[in-house]
């Protein structure tokens, strides 16, 4: 039962995150985005390369 409940909560959190992202995008489109907002979005979308990524790539080869 708790597994199902956790899954439902995770799904709900995902929906909330999507809604907040849509609202932030809409606000940015209406008001314009500040340099700080753009910098944060760029940092969030930047691909992080870690040593774990190297291990995964080696295991896939």
For the chain, list residues with pLDDT below 70.
Answer: 1-2, 7, 48-49, 57, 61
Domain ranges of the chain: 9-57
Take residue 40 and report the two structure tokens written for it. 């944060």
8 token code pair: 């439902």
Do residues 28 and 37 lie in contact, with contact meaning Cβ atoms separated by under 8 Å?
yes
Neighbouring residues of 28: CB distance < 8 A, sequence distance ≥ 6: 37
pLDDT the model gives residue 2: 61
* pLDDT for position 8: 74
Q: Which two tokens stand for residue 54?
A: 């190297």
- Give the C-alpha separation, 41 to 22, whole Å: 14
- Coil/strand/helix, residue 6: helix
pLDDT at 55: 74
């Amino acid at each position: 039962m708790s597994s199902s409940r956790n899954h439902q909560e995770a799904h709900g959190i995902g929906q909330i995150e999507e809604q907040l992202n849509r609202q932030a995008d809409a606000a940015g489109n209406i008001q314009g985005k500040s340099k700080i907002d753009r910098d944060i979005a760029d940092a969030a979308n930047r691909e992080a390369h870690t040593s774990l990524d190297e291990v995964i790539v080696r295991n896939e080869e």
